[in-house]
């Protein structure tokens, strides 16, 4: 298989190109300035995806990433990007080897990425293995400097990365901008944190011995990420891994490959050496099969569905890989009768409707105490009516489309199941007049545990309101699930705040807030929501091994 990059004549002054190599053994080949066309295979290894630039100092990600009008495919199925200077960049794979990516808001084709498989994944893993010794040898300060540069480049290109994200994922531009900053924060935080990977000395059990504990990077790390946070889910894994001295092979979601590729471009511009951060797009089960069975890979960090997580966990068993899994949730959002209802509504809007309800920490069940049920429902309905579904690039949009048709069907099925069993639609309840994958932000009342929405993650803009009587009822209802990622509650009584916080079987508890994500805090779940934590001082530990040195004959 050959993956080619071609430029049309005349237009190469900025000449940004997508090429497919990160192996330390193979350098990119660039056309010289006098050539008017460039149609050679780029690099010797075709399976590894990265973006390289001919003129790193002057070019800007803006040249690569532009709003949807400038992203299109030509007849050969290659992605065509118009650069700021009017030049045309054509990238992509041979037509039979591509994944076609559509804009979820418009259905238009954005472009294609290579459909790579097992062999190319193995090449990527081997490239990461070759890069590992030199990268781990660098001092933490040296690695931190590169990561800081990577962070700076993300922030300098925040607007363009956000436009790309909205185009391929659908979320409103303001949310995309927020995510770019959130994603970048993991590079900054973990670059610094690498300087604080401390070991231990332990008082010895024998007079002539000394006990020392050191920490080492685990080695080659595989990351598999979802589409709902196309950048942040990557940097939350690759950030600590790379900071710790590991090298990474990343498989981004097929729905959002371009953000991952843009991130790889910025990594390269920041000075992340070849082979340290490899991005591979293509067939999930083939790539996943190689990542989980190849003995060179020492760790898998996955975010996605519980079903896929269980499969990958089983696949990792044969080579006993270390695992971090961030899986599904079924978050309760409890409103006690002493809650500040306006604050609770604000928190519910943030937690439930952010990213059109497509986050694993979205409130999935709103449990409201009887005395405030009607008042809360009315206030929430009023706030939901003010939400604005629209193409995420439109000013004022607050609700983008759902990611695909399957997602729309799931939302519909949860609503029809609930209403058939006695729930009432207070607001919304159907596909939006905009058509396509837009759905009306919805509030359901009189929802009960007998309905599917009580047990399954809806992953859409539907707030189901359950009744409860007492604190004990709320806790029992909240914990009645196999999931245990995020939970939320609103109330003012200090004794109850402690009791409920301690009783909730969840990795994360938001108390009087609907927004809990930050790079400085540990994110992760219990029960079937996963294993391990991301972010914070705990997050870097996931990519380290402990080594115990026992020194005798002292």
Span near ligand ADP by CB under 6 A; candidates 146-154, 231-239, 303-311, 523-531: 303-311
Minimum distance between the CB of residue 167 and ligand ADP, rounded to whole angstroms? 19
Q: 255 by DSSP, 3-state: which?
A: coil
Span near ligand ADP by CB under 6 A; candidates 60-68, 304-312, 435-443, 532-540: 304-312
Annotated active-site residue in 19, 223, 360, 362: 360
For 113, phi then psi, to 5°, come to -130, 160
Q: Which CB sits closer to ligand ADP, 26 or 254?
A: 254
Q: Rule CB under 6 A: which of 208-247 touch ligand ADP?
A: 224-226
Q: Identify the H or E element spanning 110.
A: strand 109-114
Out of 217, 304, 464, 514, name the contact with ligand ADP by CB under 6 A.
304
Contacting residues for 363 by C-beta, under 8 A, at least 6 apart: 331, 332, 333, 348, 351, 352, 463, 488, 514
Span near ligand ADP by CB under 6 A; candidates 109-117, 214-222, 301-309, 450-458: 301-309
User: With binding defined as CB under 6 A, does residue 254 bind ligand ADP?
Assistant: yes
Q: Which CB sits closer to ligand ADP, 224 or 463?
A: 224
Query: How far is residue 225 from each of residues 256, 328, 458, measured CA to CA in Å?
Result: 10, 13, 19
Minimum distance between the CB of residue 169 and ligand ADP, rounded to whole angstroms? 12
Out of 191, 288, 329, 392, name the contact with ligand ADP by CB under 6 A.
288
Q: Which CB sits closer to ligand ADP, 311 or 521?
A: 311
Span near ligand ADP by CB under 6 A; candidates 180-188, 258-266, 302-310, 433-441: 302-310
User: With binding defined as CB under 6 A, does residue 285 bind ligand ADP?
Assistant: yes
CA-to-CA distance for 348 and 463, rounded, in angstroms? 9
User: With binding defined as CB under 6 A, does residue 407 bind ligand ADP?
Assistant: no
Q: Which CB sits closer to ligand ADP, 253 or 508?
A: 253
Minimum distance between the CB of residue 319 and ligand ADP, rounded to whole angstroms? 15
Q: Are strands 247-251 and 277-279 parallel, antiparallel or unpaired?
A: parallel
Which residue intervals of 194-305 are DSSP H helices?
232-244, 257-270, 284-293
Q: Which CB sits closer to ligand ADP, 234 or 477?
A: 234
Span near ligand ADP by CB under 6 A; candidates 106-114, 308-316, 317-325, 486-494: 308-316
Q: Which residue is nearest to ligand ADP (CB)?
A: 288
Q: How much of the chain is helix, strand and coil, in % rounded to 5?
A: 40, 25, 40
Q: 218 by DSSP, 3-state: which?
A: coil
Span near ligand ADP by CB under 6 A; candidates 40-48, 166-174, 284-292, 333-341: 284-292
Minimum distance between the CB of residue 288 and ligand ADP, rounded to whole angstroms? 2
For 272, phi then psi, to 5°, come to -65, 120
Contacting residues for 180 by C-beta, under 8 A, at least 6 apart: 154, 155, 158, 161, 162, 165, 231
Question: By CB under 6 A, how many residues form the interface with ligand ADP?
Answer: 14
Q: Rule CB under 6 A: which of 309-338 touch ligand ADP?
A: 311-312
Spatial CA neighbour of 392 closest among 224, 168, 221: 168
Annotated active-site residue in 168, 179, 326, 440: 326
User: With binding defined as CB under 6 A, does residue 308 bind ligand ADP?
Assistant: yes
Q: Are strands 6-7 and 88-91 parallel, antiparallel or unpaired?
A: antiparallel
Asked if residue 113 lies in contact with residue 95, where contact means CB atoms within 8 angstroms, the answer is: no
For this structure, is 290 an active site residue? no
The DSSP call for residue 69 is G
Span near ligand ADP by CB under 6 A; candidates 21-29, 148-156, 282-290, 538-546: 282-290
DSSP line for 280-325: --B-HHHHHHHHHH-TTEEEEEEES-HHHHHHHHHHHGGGT-EEEE
Q: Which CB sits closer to ligand ADP, 74 or 285?
A: 285
- On the 0-12 / 13-18 / 19+ scale of CB atoms within 10 A, 552 is exposed
User: With binding defined as CB under 6 A, does residue 169 bind ligand ADP?
Assistant: no
Tally of residues, the chain:
554
Minimum distance between the CB of residue 3 and ligand ADP, rounded to whole angstroms? 20
User: With binding defined as CB under 6 A, does residue 284 bind ligand ADP?
Assistant: yes
The DSSP call for residue 486 is E
Q: Which CB sits closer to ligand ADP, 66 or 251?
A: 251
Minimum distance between the CB of residue 87 and ligand ADP, rounded to whole angstroms? 32
Q: 508 by DSSP, 3-state: which?
A: strand
* Tokens standing for residue 533: 């934590």
Q: Which CB sits closer to ligand ADP, 12 or 251?
A: 251
Q: 41 by DSSP, 3-state: which?
A: strand
CB-CB neighbours of 396 under 10 Å: 9
User: With binding defined as CB under 6 A, does residue 114 bind ligand ADP?
Assistant: no
Q: Which CB sits closer to ligand ADP, 99 or 270?
A: 99
Minimum distance between the CB of residue 253 and ligand ADP, rounded to whole angstroms? 4
Q: Rule CB under 6 A: which of 469-498 touch ligand ADP?
A: none
For this structure, is 19 an active site residue? no
Minimum distance between the CB of residue 289 and ligand ADP, rounded to whole angstroms? 7
Q: Which CB sits closer to ligand ADP, 224 or 244?
A: 224
User: With binding defined as CB under 6 A, does residue 305 bind ligand ADP?
Assistant: yes
Q: At what angle do helices 232-244 and 257-270 cross, to 10 degrees?
A: 30
Out of 116, 253, 264, 474, name the contact with ligand ADP by CB under 6 A.
253
Query: How far is residue 553 from each of residues 102, 204, 206, 212, measured CA to CA in Å?
Result: 66, 13, 10, 15
- Which residues participate in catalysis according to the annotation? 326, 360
Binding site for ligand ADP (CB under 6 A): 224-226, 251, 253-254, 284-285, 288, 304-305, 308, 311-312
């Amino acid at each position: 298989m050959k993956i080619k990059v071609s430029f049309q004549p005349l237009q190469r002054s900025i000449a940004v190109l997508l090429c497919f190599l990160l192996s330390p053994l193979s350098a990119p080949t660039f056309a010289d300035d006098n050539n008017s066309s460039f149609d050679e295979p780029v690099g010797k290894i075709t399976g590894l995806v990265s973006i390289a630039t001919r003129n790193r100092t002057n070019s800007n990600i803006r040249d690569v990433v532009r709003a949807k009008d400038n992203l299109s495919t030509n007849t050969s199925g290659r992605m065509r990007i118009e650069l700021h200077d009017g030049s045309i960049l054509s990238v992509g794979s041979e037509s039979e080897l591509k994944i076609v990516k559509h804009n979820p808001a418009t259905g238009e084709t954005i472009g294609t990425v290579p459909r790579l498989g097992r062999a190319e994944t193995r090449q990527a893993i081997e490239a990461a293995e070759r890069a590992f010794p030199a990268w781990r040898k660098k001092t933490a300060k040296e690695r931190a400097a590169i990561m800081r540069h990577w962070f700076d480049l993300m922030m300098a290109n925040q607007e363009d990365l956000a436009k790309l994200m909205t185009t391929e994922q659908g979320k409103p531009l303001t949310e995309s901008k927020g995510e770019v900053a959130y994603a970048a924060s993991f590079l900054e935080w973990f670059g610094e944190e690498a300087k604080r990977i401390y070991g231990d000395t332990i008082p010895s059990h024998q007079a002539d011995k000394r006990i020392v504990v050191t920490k080492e990077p685990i080695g080659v790390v595989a990351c598999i990420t979802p589409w709902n946070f196309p950048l942040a889910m990557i940097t939350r894994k690759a950030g600590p891994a790379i900071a710790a001295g590991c090298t990474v092979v990343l498989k981004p979601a097929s729905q959002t490959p371009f953000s991952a590729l843009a991130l790889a471009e910025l990594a390269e511009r920041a000075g992340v050496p070849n082979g340290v951060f490899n991005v591979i797009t293509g067939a999930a089960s083939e790539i996943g099969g190689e990542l989980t069975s190849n003995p060179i890979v020492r760790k898998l960090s996955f975010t996605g569905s519980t079903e896929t997580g269980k499969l990958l966990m089983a696949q990792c068993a044969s080579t006993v890989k270390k695992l971090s899994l961030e899986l599904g949730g079924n978050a309760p959002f409890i409103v006690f009768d002493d809650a500040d209802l306006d604050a609770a509504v604000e928190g519910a809007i943030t937690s439930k409707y952010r990213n059109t309800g497509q986050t694993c920490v979205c409130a999935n069940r709103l449990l409201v105490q009887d005395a405030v049920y009607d008042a809360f429902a009315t206030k929430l309905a009023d706030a939901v009516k003010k939400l604005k579904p629209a193409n995420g690039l439109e000013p004022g949009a607050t609700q983008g489309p759902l990611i695909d048709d399957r997602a729309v069907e799931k939302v519909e099925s949860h609503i029809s199941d609930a209403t058939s069993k006695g729930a009432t639609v207070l607001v919304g309840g159907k596909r939006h007049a905009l058509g396509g994958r837009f759905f009306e932000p919805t509030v359901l009342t009189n929802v009960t545990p007998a309905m599917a929405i009580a047990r399954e993650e809806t992953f859409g803009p539907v707030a189901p309101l359950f009744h409860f009587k007492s604190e004990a009822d709320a806790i029992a209802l909240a914990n009645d699930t196999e999931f245990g990622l995020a939970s939320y509650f609103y109330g003012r009584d200090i004794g109850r705040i402690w009791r409920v916080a301690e009783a909730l079987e969840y990795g994360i508890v938001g108390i009087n807030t609907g927004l809990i994500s930050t790079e400085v805090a540990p994110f992760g779940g219990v029960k079937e929501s996963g294993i391990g934590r991301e972010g914070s001082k705990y997050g870097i530990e996931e990519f380290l091994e402990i080594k115990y040195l026992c020194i005798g004959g002292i």
